[in-house]
Every structure is written in C-alpha cells, then in structure tokens.
Structure 1
Amino acid sequence: MYRRLLGLQCDALGKSLPFLFEESYTALFMPGNLLNQDSIVRKLVQDIAEEDWRDTPDSDNGVEIVGWLYQFYISERKDAVIGAKSKVAARDIPAATQLFTPHWIVRYMVENSLGRLWLEGHPESNLREKMPFYLAGPPDQEAESMVGEGAKVPLQPQELTVMDPACGSGHILVYAFDLLFEIYREQGYLERDIPGLILEHNLHGLDIDERAAQLASFAVLMKARAKNPRILRKPPKLNILTVRSTRHLTVEQFQKAEQVTKTKPLIDHQLSLDSISESPEQLPLAQSASSPVQRSYPLLDKLLSTFEEADHLGSLITPSQMDATKLYAQLDEIEVNAPLFKSEVANLRQIARQAELLSKKYWVVVANPPYMGSKGMNSTLKEFAKKNYPSSKSDLFSVFVERIINLTIKGGLIGLMTPFTWMFLSSYEKLRKRIINECTLTSLIRPEYHAFLSRLTFQSAHLLYRLMLNQNAKVLSLI
C-alpha cells in the first residue's frame, strides 16, 4: 500500500515537477521494502537529524545533504572508472569528474562575483553586510575595481545573469538565489514575486549528467517554494538543462516521417523514429509526380550537427548564432506534419534551448569545473580540445576555464575553483598568458591541501577575475 501511495504522490508531483518525476512506469522499479528497518526511507528519516535539513545563515543544509548523497551514490562507479586507468567513455564522464563544492567555497566565489558586481553599480547597497566572505580590499583599490575597466555594470536585478556551465546538483545556483533574493528585496520588489523573477531571468545552469541537472532544478525550485509556497501552482520555466546529444537524430528521419504521414493513413504507419531510420525500404518514398516534395530544415540540420557529440563535450560546445524564432517555427512545422514524433520534437525543443543558453554571454559565471587529464580523455573529447582549445588542452578543467572566459560579457566577473597546477606548469603557459592579457584578477586563494575531505588531499585554488575591456591587466588580491 505504501509503495502504491508513494507512486501516486510522485505522479501528482510530476504535474508541477515534470523534469524530476518521470513516466509512471518507473514506479515498477521502486523497491518493495521501503518500510523495513533498514530501508533508505527509514535511514533518511532517522539517521539524519531534523535540524540538519534546515538551512542556516552559514549553510544550505538541504542542498548540501542532497549533493553529498549524490556524490556518494555515484562514488562506486567513479572509483571503478578511475581505477580502470583507461579512456573515460561518454557515459562515465559525469561519474569520473563530479566533485561537490563545500558551502564556504561557494559563498566566497558567489559573493566576490555576483555580490561584487551588484556593489559596483550600487555602492550604497547594504548587501555588503550580508556577505561575510566578500573581500572588500583597500578603499582606493576597491574604487579602482568598481570602475570595472569602463564596464557598464547592471543596474537592474533582472540584468544580473548568472551561469554555472557544470552545475552538478546546483549548490552554486542555490546560493546565488539567496543573494539575488536579497538584491531584489533591497530594490523594493514584492517577496512573493521575487522567486519567479530569479528563476526566469537570473539563474542558468547546464550539466551533461541528467540526474544532477534534475537535482539542481529541484534544489532551486524548492528554494523558490520556501519563499513563495504558491509557486508550484504555475511553475516558471527553469533555465537549468541537461546538455543532450543528437547523435541518433537526422533531418532525413523527419522528412521521411512527413512523407509517411502524407502518403498513407496514420493507422497504417505506427512506426518509431528508429524504424524509419533503419528500414527506409519499407516506406513509399519513390519519387514521382505525385510524391510530396521534401521540406528543407537547414536550421534544424545545423542544430543536430552541433550537438551530435554533446554527451562527450557538454558545455564546451559553442553553437553558432541561429535565428531562434525560425528554428522553433521549423519545429512547429515538423510537429504538425509528423505528429507521430511529438516526443522527439519535444526533445528537440530542449536541445534548441540548450543552444540558446550556450550561445549567450553572462555577467557572472561561477563554476567548479570538471577535472580530467588528457590521458583520461576519450578520442572525441581529446580531439575536440586539441582543435578548439589548444592553449588549455592538458586538462578538462583548463579547457573549461577558456570556455568560461568566452561565456562572459566584457566587464563581467568569473569565479572558479580549479587545481592550482595551471599557475606553475609549462603546459598551461598559454592559458596563463590569456588570463593575464584579458582579465584582471580580483582575488586568488590557495587553501591548504585538505580543503574538501581529509582523505582526498585535494590541491586547489579559488580564482576570481574580471574579463577586461582593455589590456591593462592587474592583480588586486592574492591570499
């Protein structure tokens, strides 16, 4: 009975959270011992104290618990992939590269990027008092920073676009939500309206791990619901997506599907997209005077080719500019002309959205990018890095550093957590030169080795810098 009730509750929640609660058939895989003494439900309720779930001024406890649980959930797979000492396949990249970011590091990065940017446009703001990790610096130095190399800083809260291109379970986005909420409230917005505005205008996230992106979406939406309990009645469209591959999709498949629809009744052709691709000889497509003329979908063709290897490359892909209105019009046309493939068209709409997010530039980009040396990269990822990011191809994190620079508006701010090897090794010399030539370092922290867990002995540097409008490079703070 409990299993049935839980399934029904998931179905009900799926109306508000369709990205999280999947098709009802997944309930068939639900374990049957959910009320046993050693069940996961009992452990969650009894082994984790109630107060540990509650957020505090110093910690987003709920999202931290979810993040750590997910990291340990995939840890067995991660150990197996890394222990194999072979090239990492696309399906294993998420497990091999994910590492949860502790809250104090998140606060340091967000407060000194998003918070700093707001203070530059609003020096009278009280936000500074709510940011204990903000590094103000000497007055003359801060004034120089606030000039922003001539940058026109955002003056309205809706202009503060934030992107995490490797968002994982959403820890960075959740704290950015908190800071943005204070910014909106300071500007006099109604508290019930603020969560929807933040989700619609400010927060953006991408990840190649679908489950992690779902958790990130859930985390920010629950944060929004805590501020406005009615927000799930009409949930806003989130800008947090899984970067999906188009490897098994082609324009020709949709063209053939349209011809099937037009040449025979639909009841005679209950065909899947795969069957149309694999068995074209079954289709009545011989060219004749009466055969329908195939439609051309150049924008869709371009979209499909751009994301063919997205499960390997994720946010590293830089789509060329496309006319989004025309692209969505093409998708509408396909949905009308090939109604059998409504679900595939829905998938294409999300891929079109991920292209939009990756084509834009943002005022603030904050990330803990994935780490993987070139020896672990599969051939697709390695060749892509070599061709598109020759200055940073030695490691996946350094490739992300370059991509993030490209994602940032001139005068915008970047917050990164990376291994500190880029500061010293000769293989990163070209990357260092680019950072020095194009950016102003606002702060750089190199913590002691045990910044995460003692067993990890992780060596890291936390880097914050502004993308300059001119070539007057500066370093404002080293810690």
Structure 2
Amino acid sequence: MAFDQTTRNRLQRFVSDGRSLLTEEFTRQLQNDYGLDPIAGEVTILENLAHLDDGRRETARILRATLAHYQASSPDATVKDLLERIVREQAFTVLNRLAALRMAEARELLIESVAAGYSSKGFQLYARLAGTGLGETGEAYRCYLFSVFDELALDLAVLFDRFSPMGRLFPRESALLDLLKLLNDPELADLWAEDETIGWIYQYFNSKEERKQMRDASAAPRNSRELAVRNQFFTPRYVVEFLVDNTLGRLWYEMTQGETTLKESCQYLVRRPTEIFLAEGEPAPEPTDTEEELSQADLLKQPVHIPFRPLKDPRDLRMLDPACGSMHFGLYAFDLYERIYGEAWELEQQSRRLKRSGELKPLAETYDSKEAFLRDVPRLIIEYNIHGVDIDPRAAQIAGLSLWLRSQKSWQAQGLKPKDRPQIKRSNIVCAEPMPGEEALLSEFIETYLSATAEQQLVGQLVRRVFAAMTLAGEAGSLLQIEREISADIQLAKQQWLNRPAGEQLKLLELETDQPRQQSLPLSVDDITDDRFWLKIEDEIYTALERYAATAEGAGRFQRRLFAEDAARGFAFIDLCRKRYSVMLMNPPFGAGSLQTKSMLTAAYPRTKNDVYAAFVERGLQLLEVAGNLGAITSRTGFFLSSFQKWREEILLKEAQPTVFADLGYGVLDAAMVETAAYCLSKVA
C-alpha cells in the first residue's frame, strides 16, 4: 500500500499518543516506586525506599547505576536531563517491542499475542497451560509477553533483551491496556504488514514541535540527540530503489558483464544500449576529436566502454549506511543481495572464478548443496554484507528489527520452520557513542585484565588512547576518523622500536592525561601491520571485557556491566570504520554539525566543513574501495553554491566520478524544508 499523507498521519498519531502514554507512565513509576523524579531532578536515597519488595528494590538499584553510568559519560548534563533520558529510553523500547510483535503477527511469524490483548490466541494457550500459578490475568499476560521477549532476544537482543538498561521498566496493567488499544486501532490494521511501517515509527517518535523548539533554541545542534532528532527524515522507497539499483545493482551488473537478472528487476538501473564491456586488461579507446562536435542526441548513441570488474564473492560485497536510521536502504539492498547470492552459486558452478578475500572458501566447498546454501543466505547477508552506523540508540533497535523481519520473510518463503532456520549470531548495526566515562572503572579494567604481560600492557595503553579518541563519537558518528588515529598510534610504536638505540627498550606511547605514564617494555613490533595487530588484539579486548562484566561483584556490579557493554559497542564501531566497502548508501544529516564537533570538522574536513552532508560524502568516499559506488540523497545546494566549490571540484570531479543524478526538489523528505538531489558516484583510483 502507498504511504500517502493520510496514512502517515494515522501512524503519526499512534506514535505520538503511545509515546505520551508511556512517558507519563514511566515518569510516574520513577516518582512513586523508585524515588527518582524526572520533573524535579531529585534522587531519593535507596535505603529510604522501605516500601519496595526485593524485585523492585533491585530495579531501583539498577536505575541508579544506570544514572551514574550516564553521568560519567555526560558530566555536563543535569540529573533532570538524565532521568528524562531514562524515561525516554524506556518508552521507545516498549513501544518498539510491541510494534515489533504486531508486525511479526501480521507476517505470521508469531502466534497472535497482542492483536487481541488478553484474548490473543497465544496468551489463551499459555494461560491454559499455566493455570492459576501466575496470578491474576494482567500479571499472567505480563509474564507471557516477557516469555515472548526472551524467545525473540535469542536473535534480536538489541531490542528484546529485558535486562538491558533501556528495557528495565514495563507499563502497569491499565497503561498497557491503553497502549494495546492504540496499537490495535482498526485504522492501523493494514499497516503492520508493510515493511516501511517501522521506519515511519522511528521518524515520528520525535514530533515536529520538538524539532522546532530545538531549532529555535540554537542554530546548530547542541548535542548528539538534537543532531539525531533534527535530521530524522525517512527516505521514500523510490529514492531508496534509485540509489541502491545504481550502486549495488550496478556493481553486480558490471561484474557479470550484464548477465544478471538485476537488469530486469532493478527498475531504476540506468543503462545505455551502447554499453561495451571490456575484457580484463583491455583499455578503453581514446575519445576522438569529433566527439566534441556531436550533439547531445548523437553523443548518447556513442559506444560506452565499461571497465572490467572482477567477479567477487558476494560475501565480500559489503555495504555501509553511515547514518542508517531505520535501515531503509539495507532493507531493499537485502532483496538484491538475495538475487546476487543465487547467481553467484550458479556462476561458480559454471567454473567462473569468484574473487574472495581472507579465509573464505568457495561456496561449493562450504555447502553440501544449493538448497543448504540458499537456506543460509539470509544469515550471510546480515552477518557479512549490510552494515550501519547511527548516533541514535533507537536506530540500532529499529534497524536490527527491520533486517530480522526481512530475514524471517525469506525463510518463511522457503518453507523453513523456525527451529530449522540458521541462527543470526551477529549484526553489523552499531550505535556510535563515546566510550564509557568512568575513569576509575577503565583503570580497574586495564590493571586487572591488561597488565599481566608486556604485550597486554601495550594493548592496555592503546585501549586508553582509544577511549580518549572516542570522546566525540556520539556527536560525529561516522565522521569520526577513529581508524586513522589507531593506525597512527600503531605505526608510531613500531617506528619508535625500529629507531631505538641499541640495547634500549621501546618507550610506549604517552597520553597527555593525569594518568600515570606507562613503563618501558621490551617488545618486538618488526612485523606488525595495522590489520594484523588490530585483529590480534581485538579478540583479547573483547574477552577481557566479557570477563570483567561476568566477574563483577559488589554494589557496582551492574555499572561495571554497563561499562563493559558500552566499551564493546565502541570497539564494534571502530571495527566498522576500519573496513572498506563496495557500496556506500546514505541520507545523511544536513546543515551544521553539533557545537562540540565544530573544531573537529574544521580540522578533518576543511573542504566540506560548511555542511555535514558534504562531509558525509567525503567520508563515504574514504571508506569505499577503489571503484566502489556511493549513493546519496542530500540537499541540492552543493551543486551550485560557491561555498561548495571545493566539494564539487576536488571531491565529486577528482576523487569520484558522477554516474547518475536526479534533481528532486521539495517535498521528498516528508516535512523537511529542503530541496534535494539523489546521485551516485564511483570512486576513482
């Protein structure tokens, strides 16, 4: 169905009403039950909450640990601001969870659980089995929903993990029934089966009025949340298809030299009838002088020579959306990847060589049959191909849900029962945020788990440098060139070792902080490269963080767990920044960056500092492989304003080659008052 304005208005009312209901509910819970007042910004001492039973006392303790964790990372924020953040996070998590259940029901992935409230088939069966052991109907229904959450958390922990700091609270019975009434409004019934619904829910969680208040208060975003809220505009499906068709679709079309079904299924793929695919090593003929005299119509009839592209294993065709939001680009790219994988199997059977990297084995050596291979393709797409970064934690929930629903759709079409579906073990959707701010916990972690050997001490020092370098991750997101800082640190350590006077030890890198300087250590780094070193230490860091979280004891155990989990997410973000991608797709923020990133943007992006969308394009080209494709929808101002001259001349016309361009004008990005253009670039050597 078409998401026209009337349809979007209905969905917007639901999201707005649901948010208001949950915000009021969780504010009241914090005030009345847990001694935390988001309105006054006051915190009651835990010992004074004598009315709490053991379960709610533990929740009160966890909420205070969460507050302390947020204070460490945002020292300038007030207690009121941080308590409001906790309420907001609990509200959007519950709203997203119930919307996800409703969407899963509509796709017959889940037995009816929320569509009919207490009368839902799933709950009725559960209640008959449980009997009276779970108490009154409302309490039994809550237990049932929790069991559904726990089952789905096996594949989608980022949304359904009930023990995450963003999902500790749940509405009381009266509020839950009101929310279910909103969720099951007959006007929304047809929307839950649509893929775009979750994206519009993501956009509408923040109101137009809230955006206006932010803009009225400051011309530039004042923090990462304002930057996210002011730039949440859902990309329409036709724009998504245009950009994906002419980046990922075009890439595979050229690799197969036109022998692909994508040329029929990709309706926006731009092709010329005179295309000539060159053989490996074959140069394109030099243009003749007469071409300059031809009319535009005659030029379009001239042969177009397509440089040779080696045929790559689809597992190496990585795609990144550096400001992913609800992952609308990835949702459509999933469709193309499925066709690409199917064709890759057939090409390999025809003895066509697929270029592959790392330890990847040929598909036929990895799978016993084509059927087994196709069964695994949805997992491969999520674990190998689609990557996304955003500064909004809601994006990780929504984007993860979008891809999970899409993978289930594929397995459902294959007739696979849930128990026979491959388990998705990892996702490449990350939230860019600073490393946790608890300096005492960082020192404790390094001293406990990264100090036993000389090598560990070097790793520990690099961890400390990474923590410092990630300070602006929540503001800058993908624009933070963290991989360059890491590479510089490793190379400096190696150079210091190689240039040392005979008999002297390596002086480890020193930070300009109040922390004590590290000792000199006897290390050999002669054969270290960036990739080898990072791959070697990454597992050690993750293992140490897991041990730190698992063995935490005492009153601060939950805060230590939050520290470890946030640090692990930070290293996952670094890992994405260190990869190189075949395809880059984006609807980036536009306008000024946040106030905190002004000096960083000036230093890192001197040619594009005047508008963050131009910087995102420049950054996207940095992360692309040579001859990789970038597709973007941005403001069209960059193509004619004098302030973007360097962007046009030095980036669009030197570092990349424009391949397609569509001037779209106003009214494309919902309520955004901006004239847009959609275009694709190919990175040159």
Q: TM-score, normalised by structure 1?
A: 0.81
**2:627 partner SS:** strand
Map Cα deviations across residues 7-33 of structure 1 (whole Å, 9 max, x no partner): 332233223321112434835342533
Q: How does 1:54-453 map onto structure 2 within 5 Å?
A: 54=193, 61-62=194-195, 64-75=196-207, 76-88=209-221, 89-122=223-256, 123-140=258-275, 152-188=309-345, 189-190=370-371, 191-229=374-412, 230=418, 234-246=423-435, 248-250=437-439, 253-256=441-444, 295-296=457-458, 297-318=460-481, 319-320=483-484, 321=487, 322=530, 323-333=534-544, 336=547, 339-340=551-552, 341-373=560-592, 377-433=593-649, 434-453=651-670
1:45 corresponds to: 184
Q: Give distance in 1, aligned partners of 2:546 and 2:181.
A: 46
Cα pair 1:149 1:468 within 8 Å, conserved: no
TM-score by length of 2: 0.57
Q: CA RMSD in A?
A: 2.8
Residue identity matched to 2:376: D
- Secondary structure of the structure 1 residue equivalent to 2:157: coil
Q: Distance in 1 between matches of 2:446 and 2:642?
A: 55
Q: Distance in 1 between matches of 2:542 and 2:146?
A: 33
Which ranges of structure 2 fall in alignment gaps of 5 or more residues? 1-137, 279-283, 285-302, 346-369, 413-417, 450-455, 488-529, 553-559
Match of 2:156 in 1: 17
Structure 2 SS opposite 1:414: strand
Query: Matches of 1:409 and 1:242 in 2, distance apart?
Result: 23
**Deviation of residue 335 (structure 1)?**
5.2
Partner of 2:452: none
What does the per-residue CA deviation read over 1:214-236, in whole Å, with 9 as the maximum and x for residues that have no partner? Answer: 10011001100111253766223
Shift of 1:120: 0.2
Distance 1:396 1:258 in 2: 36
Aligned to 1:28: 169
Identity across the alignment (%): 27
Distance 1:412 1:237 in 2: 25
Give ranges in structure 1 of 5+ residues lacking alignment: 55-60, 262-293, 470-479
Shift of 1:97: 1.4
Q: Distance in 1 between matches of 2:672 and 2:272?
A: 32
- Paired residue type of 1:67: G
- 3-state SS of the aligned residue for 1:372? coil
> Partners in 2 of 1:448 and 1:15 — Cα distance?
44
Q: Who wins on radius of gyration, i.e. which is larger?
A: 2
Relative distance call for 1:427 and 1:45 in structure 2 (3 A) is same
Q: Secondary structure at the match of 1:447?
A: strand
CA offsets 1:413-445 (integer angstroms, 9 cap, x no match)? 110001000011111111101211121111000
1:355 is aligned with what amino acid?
Answer: I
397-406 or 27-36: bigger deviation:
27-36
Letter in 2 for 1:72: Y
Q: Which amino acid aligns with 2:606?
A: P
Correspondence for 2:74 = none
For 1:132, the aligned partner's letter is Q
Whether the 8 Å contact between 2:376 and 2:422 is mirrored in structure 1 is: no
Cα distance in 2, alignment partners of residues 259 and 117 from structure 1: 48
The CA deviation at 1:241 is 0.8
Judged with a 3 Å threshold, the aligned counterparts in structure 2 of structure 1 residues 259 and 238 are, in CA distance, closer, same or farther, namely: closer
Partner Cα separation in structure 2 for residue 167 and residue 258 of structure 1: 33
TM-aligned CA deviation for residue 331 of structure 1: 4.4
User: In 2, are the aligned partners of 1:154 and 1:160 still within 8 Å (CA)?
Assistant: no
Q: Deviations over 1:258-315 (max 9, x none)?
A: 7689xxxxxxxxxxxxxxxxxxxxxxxxxxxxxxxx9451221232122111111111
Instruction: State the Cα distance separating 1:124 from its structure 2 match.
Output: 1.1
For residues 67 and 330 of structure 1, the distance between their equivalents in structure 2, rounded to whole angstroms, comes to: 34
Contact kept, 8 Å, 2:666 with 2:674, in 1: the verdict is yes
Alpha-carbon distance change, 111 to 335 in structure 1, aligned in 2, over 3 angstroms: closer
Native 8 Å contact 2:276 2:306 kept in 1 = no
Residue 173 and residue 350 in structure 1: after superposition, are their counterparts in 2 closer, same or farther (change >3 A)? Answer: same
Distance 1:420 1:34 in 2: 45
In the alignment, the residues of structure 1 paired with residue 334 and residue 661 of structure 2 have an alpha-carbon distance, to the nearest angstrom, of 24
User: Contact 2:241–2:332 (CA<8 Å) still a contact in 1?
Assistant: yes
Aligned CA distance change for structure 1 residues 199 and 48 (closer, same or farther; 3 Å): farther
Q: Secondary structure at the match of 2:401?
A: helix
Q: What letter corresponds to residue 633 of structure 2 in structure 1?
A: M
Q: Give the 3-state SS of the residue equivalent to 1:192 in structure 2.
A: helix
8 Å Cα contact 1:366-1:414 kept in structure 2: yes
Alpha-carbon distance change, 33 to 147 in structure 1, aligned in 2, over 3 angstroms: farther
| Alpha-carbon distance in 1 for matches of 2:377, 2:580 | 23
Q: Is the Cα–Cα contact under 8 Å of residues 208 and 244 in structure 1 kept in the other structure?
A: yes
Task: Summarize the Cα distance change of 1:27–1:8 in structure 2 as closer, same or farther, 3 Å threshold.
Answer: farther
Q: State the alpha-carbon separation in 1 of the partners of residues 588 and 445 from structure 2.
A: 40
Give CA deviations for 1:45-98 in whole Å, capped at 9, x if unaligned: 3344544443xxxxxx32x11111221111243232123234422232111111
Q: Distance in 1 between matches of 2:646 and 2:428?
A: 33
What is the identity, as a one-letter code, of the residue corresponding to 2:205?
Answer: Y
Cα offset, 1:336, TM superposition? 4.7
* Alignment CA distance shift 1:32-1:397 (3 Å): farther
The number of equivalent residue pairs is: 423
SS of the residue corresponding to residue 173 of structure 2 reads coil
